[in-house]
Amino acid sequence: MAQTPFYRLPYGDRRDLLAQQSHLTVQQLAKIAARQRDADADLIENYLTTYGLPEGVAVNLQVNGQTIAVPMVTEEPSVIAAASNGGRLLTSAQGITTTVERREVMGQIVLSHVPDRTGVKAWLTAHQDEILKVANEVHPSLLGHGGGARSLRIRCIPPHWMSLDLFIDVGEAMGANLVNTICEAVANYLKEHLTVNVLMSILSNYATHSLVTADVAVPVDQLATKTVDGLTVAQRICDASDFAEHDPYRAVTHNKGIMNGVDAVVLAMGNDWRAVESGAHAYASRHGSYQSLSHWWLTGETLHGELTLPLALGFVGGATRVFPLVVINQQIAQITSARDLMGVTAAVGLAQNLAALRALVTDGIQHGHMRLQLKSLALSVGATPGEVPAVVGRLSGETQPTTAQAKAALAAVREANLKK
């Protein structure tokens, strides 16, 4: 008799099979059971348990004239402290200003092995209005939300492909499913009217038509540390920014620092961080080589910063109404639209970048980061939440504490507790 596929097994059988194959202990199974959430079981396939990530709140962010707190979901120590620190450093009369010029998602209908590309192009050009009409008939509700297909573009891609690009205003949604459904309907229309080989129909995550820019200008005095004056710090930040435009090895790390903030906000807001990540890095390569996404420069005694990102984020749809925390997080950050969300996310990315650069070009990253990393190190060697402060206390004298030192500190704490 054929074996029942794993995904068709009842939950308990799947878990028991895994326990058997992986030799899970009773204690390990109890941990899996403790984190199991019925609501999550229908969200993904082959559900086992829920892997929770901590959520914190970055403060001090002044965005478009409002001071806001921004929920962030991350496992990395010092990210939220850095975002708050960046927000504090970027506070000025204006704070961070954000701009979203347009918000459209592109869908692609890819034609392959097209023998007469000139003829197909001419046909598509002549039938633009019909194609947009077909697109708009698929999702009448989208028109009700003020969205809809806006324009199209035809590209010939050597040696034998064509891409019909549809630009769709997706209202307040991220739009992936909306756009995919529209593209599949348009593909069917093309197949009915043309002899073409449609290779695929899918949105593009290279969201060049959903760009958001965050800008800031702050007096250099604000950037001074205990040992370095503000102008020197600002000059060094600009030098670091220039270097990241010239060296891809540095640019990737520079952008990782920006994405520390962006991803954490995107996660807290129930959005698709894979889409954001892939789009951001493609945008960083738009000039041919991989470069920094942000740019810092000085005019007199003012430091300017700018970050532009492709961010097709959704205020509704996707997982935004699946996780109850998302609505609460939107409220905490005073976000009431997809455009607001794009702006706040870019603002956090800019603040995050400034905090990292300032640390790098002054005290070095480990000074502030390691101080906050100690709690994570204590947990990683098995300290219970109650033991963490004592273990951190024992490690705080070390400049680069190792796992071995953390284990020794934990053993010492436990021994001291036994003696109490």
Ligand X SMILES: NC(=O)C1=CN([C@@H]2O[C@H](COP(=O)(O)OP(=O)(O)OC[C@H]3O[C@@H](n4cnc5c(N)ncnc54)[C@H](O)[C@@H]3O)[C@@H](O)[C@H]2O)C=CC1
Ligand Y SMILES: CC(C)(COP(=O)([O-])OP(=O)([O-])OC[C@H]1O[C@@H](n2cnc3c(N)ncnc32)[C@H](O)[C@@H]1OP(=O)([O-])[O-])[C@@H](O)C(=O)NCCC(=O)NCCSC(=O)C[C@@](C)(O)CC(=O)[O-]
Binding site for ligand Y (CB under 6 A): 60, 76, 78-79, 81-82, 84-85, 88, 253-254, 256-257, 260, 355-357, 359-360, 365, 368-369, 372
Tokens of 124: 């598509």
94 binds, among ligand X, ligand Y, none (CB under 5 to 8 A by kind): none
> Could you tell me the smallest distance in angstroms from the CB atom of residue 360 to ligand X?
32
> Could you tell me the smallest distance in angstroms from the CB atom of residue 184 to ligand X?
12
The reply to whether omega before 219 is within 30° of 0 (cis) is no
160 assigned to active site: no
Residue 175 engages ligand X in binding (rule: CB under 6 A): yes
CA distance 406 to 377: 7
154 binds, among ligand X, ligand Y, none (CB under 5 to 8 A by kind): none
303 binds, among ligand X, ligand Y, none (CB under 5 to 8 A by kind): none
Catalytic annotation, pick one of 133, 191, 193, 256: 256
Which segment (10-18, 39-47, 316-324, 348-356) binds ligand X by CB under 6 A? 316-324
301 assigned to active site: no
Which of 177, 213, 235, 376: binder of ligand X (CB under 6 A)? Answer: 177
Catalytic annotation, pick one of 281, 304, 369, 375: 369
Residue 138 engages ligand X in binding (rule: CB under 6 A): no
13 assigned to active site: no
Q: Give the type of residue at 157.
A: I
- Which is nearer to ligand X, 340 or 387 (by Cβ)? 340
55 assigned to active site: no
| Rounded alpha-carbon distances, angstroms, from residue 91 to 67, 84, 95, 220, 295 | 9, 11, 5, 12, 18
Residues 246-285 that bind ligand X (CB under 6 A): 272, 275
The DSSP-derived string for 296-326 is EEEETTEEEEEEEEE----SBSTTTTTSHHH
> Could you tell me the smallest distance in angstroms from the CB atom of residue 346 to ligand X?
19
- Which is nearer to ligand Y, 143 or 360 (by Cβ)? 360
Contact 406, 381 (CB under 8 A): yes
Instruction: Give which of 171, 223, 207 is closest to 286, Cα–Cα.
Output: 207
CA distance 195 to 161: 14
> Could you tell me the smallest distance in angstroms from the CB atom of residue 262 to ligand X?
16
| Residues with Cβ within 8 Å of residue 197, at least 6 apart in sequence | 111, 112, 113, 114
Strand partners, 201: 109
- Which is nearer to ligand X, 169 or 387 (by Cβ)? 169
Which of 77, 107, 148, 317: binder of ligand X (CB under 6 A)? Answer: 317
Catalytic annotation, pick one of 104, 172, 263, 272: 272
- Which is nearer to ligand X, 316 or 408 (by Cβ)? 316
Residue 205 engages ligand X in binding (rule: CB under 6 A): yes
Strand partners, 55: 73
Query: Long-range contacts of range 99-102, CB-CB < 8 Å, 24 or more positions apart?
Result: 99/212, 99/213, 99/215, 99/343, 100/210, 100/211, 100/212, 100/339, 100/342, 100/343, 101/211, 102/209, 102/210
Catalytic annotation, pick one of 16, 40, 55, 76: 76
Q: What angle do CA 70, 72, 75 make, to 5 degrees?
A: 160
CA distance 144 to 316: 15
- Which is nearer to ligand X, 260 or 271 (by Cβ)? 271
Active site residues: 76, 256, 272, 369
Residues that bind ligand X (CB under 6 A): 141, 145, 147, 170-178, 180, 203, 205, 272, 275, 314, 316-319
